[in-house]
Structure 1
Amino acid sequence: MYKALIADDEEIIRSGLSRLLARDPDFEVAALAEDGEQALELAAERLPDLLLVDINMPFLNGLEFIERLEGVLRGAVIIVITGYDDFSYAQQALRLGVFDYLLKPVMEDAFYDAVGRAKQQLQTNRRQVKYLDWARMQLEKNRSSLVAAFLDGWLEGRYSEPEVAEQLGYLGISIPEPYGVTVAHLSVSEGKTMVGQEWDENLLYYAAENIARELFEPLGPVTSCKNASGDLVVLSSCLPAARWSATARELRELLEEHLPAQAVLSQVPGDRLAGLPEAYDDAMELLEQREKCPQAVLEARRYIEERYADPCLSLQGAADRLHLSPQHLSRLFRHETGVTFVDYLSRVRIRRAVELLADGELKMYEIAERVGYSSQHYFSSAFKKVLGVSPMEYRRGGAAR
């Protein structure tokens, strides 16, 4: 059964068309309208399949009605009704996608011929809508796999720019510019178990992905996938930079707190989509370097990155936490990173200070305190040693840029 709407400002025409259509058992006259505005309201409410529309109607003529109808109905068929003087309007209606037109006075043979062909078109439209809905359902059902396969190919550089643009549109993926690439490698902790759950690599990955997407959502839109190595790759905005970096630190903490795993992370920013594969390669290279680093050094770096704001942070404190002698940790740290523990701490503090200098409301002594310096003078001296300019000069230079 198909629903029909008849719109004509003449009651005699509406009644006549309604009687003719009632003879066809496949149609139900669901709505009668005497002007274009009423027709538009009834179309949105009743969702008819067939619309018989007079071109000359008050308030909103037939052509305006057809234009406004776009997006309201799916697969509907429109037949316009016109007088001889309106033939040019009928041609315009056909350009708007109208199925057919009937001349007034409407003859029965012409009417049933048009309605019969409209019925065939409606049957075709319903099949097409059904197949399209099924295809969309299948696409949504398998979207995560399709997205993962596409991202893996893109990150590995197997797609051209036009192919990337086509796939992004097809899969509905939005990558912000500038973007940030965050890669997390998870390894199961031998001595850590979670009550009531048997963990494997797949479950570990999906749990980590859920945590990551929730954390990075404020920096959205967020896209994630598993790469060929089983690592979690998260694409998001990298702005503001301080928040992006802090989100990665929080992710690592939550992964190790809630999952039976150890996590190693790397982050690399990028500004052009065409350069995403290169940014990803850089992130993977950085991740590999960090994975090769002895666990004691990783823990020491993590200790610094989490506690740099503590003015009492020291090599001795880190060594005590790791149950190592300061001398051993110092040698190990310098061998693996190429810098001393103290120099690394200074770089972390100054990097964070640079982020805070972008906030013109913060005073220098406030920034110094936030990054672990009890003295503004000492902060300025350390800043200049690392970057070659004082914090004030750096802020002025940033403002000038």
Structure 2
Amino acid sequence: MKILVVDDEPRHRRGMASMIHVLRPEDQVLVAKDGASALELVRSEKPDAVLTDIRMPSMDGLSFLKKLEDESLRTKVVMVSAYNLFEYAQAAIRHGAYDYLLKPVEAGKVEDVLRRIESQLVEESRQHSESEALKHRLSLTSSAYRNRLLLSWLNGSLTDMERKELETLEWMQGSGTVIFSEIRIGPGNKAGFDAGAWLKHLEQAWAEFGKACTFSLHVLQEEVFQAVTIIQTAQPAQERKPEIRRTVSSLEAEWAKHGRLTHGIGPDCRCLWTDAFQAYRAAQTANLYNFHESWSGILFHDELLPTRNPILLDGEKLFEAVQGRDAEAAIAMCRAAFVQLAANGHTNPNLIKECASLTLMRMKSRIRDYVDRQIGSALTDSALNVIPLCHTYAELMAVLEIRLRDVHDALRQARLDKSEIIVAECLRWIQENVKEELTLERAAEHFFFNPSYFSTLIKSRTGRTFSDHVTETRMRRAKELLAENRLKIYEIAAECGYQDTKYFCRVFKKQNGMSPEAYKHASFPQRSREG
């Protein structure tokens, strides 16, 4: 059956379409976002069944039903609603609805209603005589009917009668070429895109090479449109590559304002009837490789060459590079590896995506002990969700570069944070051991650093040397003890780590502008007032 799903909520629309694909993989599923666009599809595609939401903008489900009734468009309509109201169901049945389902819709109920519709359609078909069926069928000269047959043929769903009818087409017995075309609509450009005009333009362009027939394929992604062109011609496409490339260039210029247009050219067919199906698959595969911009949007199937096993990045070397002064070295290493992997556009894009995802997951594993979970989550999301949806090599490399820069920045910040913690720990260590012999070498050994590096680290983070911090801490302690007036000067010197009292006095006077004795007396009046 051909089934149309109508819902203004993209998530619900995709969910219902996917459910039907799972339940009935042999059926064709169309989608529409509201009643108005659904009405156009019913007029043009004549689906056997329609599952439509009731409440939608532009034209709701009940208005859609009324339009079908007014135009005598026959299709089985199942209303789907989140509202369990008798009035809705009553109005739907009054306008000719086949059934009424409540959201959330269960797979079993969908399967049951579609099975009942199919049974009824079979029964209705039996009730018509062979002559009546033939009278209402579109003739083979009708392009719409012909295209439907061709699409069923490529999908492998032709009935025996349809196969016999298609086989009678004279041009199907001749030689020719099969072309697979795809246009991905850019953000914000769908409103101005006319799929019908695009198909017509394709057919007119390819007609330059022979008798052309272009028809659309059903694609679940709303921003992607695909078409197949079958050209009956005695001249092999391989002999007309320059002309075909010029045609593609002209088409690209015409549709560039809407999105990226690409083509895959299948092998020449000695007989379209026997060879076109395999040629179609080959053309579809060739178009997949237009992921590589190096093909300029067109790839002939015979241009693909076998590639060697993938060359993976050395995870340790990449990790070392990303810890450098900037991220450029890591990015350059990544670019070089993927350029080699891409093999001038001959490597399967899915393999490249797998390697890109693996690179990010290995990086996540390597940095997990250094940075917070947010960066790891971003790497995982890119590996599992973003990279698989990349449509071009450039888009994929942009994702890798962004993630590598994020990792570089995170590692750099982690180093800065770690340095601050170490310096703070060192200053606390000085304070706690102020009586001891405090040397740079002893401190560096305590914190497991090279003395020279440790000295530079402290100076860069605080602006003062290790010795400056030791002296400052000892002088602060000395002033506290002098203010308490409990100990003698030589005892205070020892408490502050000075075994030579005279040296202590010189250092104190240099730092504070007066001797320890003078500082003690100067602080006495203040203590008296406080007392």
TM-score of the superposed pair, with normalisation by structure 1: 0.31
Task: Select the structure with the greater relative contact order (CA < 8 A; seq sep ≥ 6).
Answer: 1
TM-score (norm 2): 0.24
Bigger Cα Rg: 2
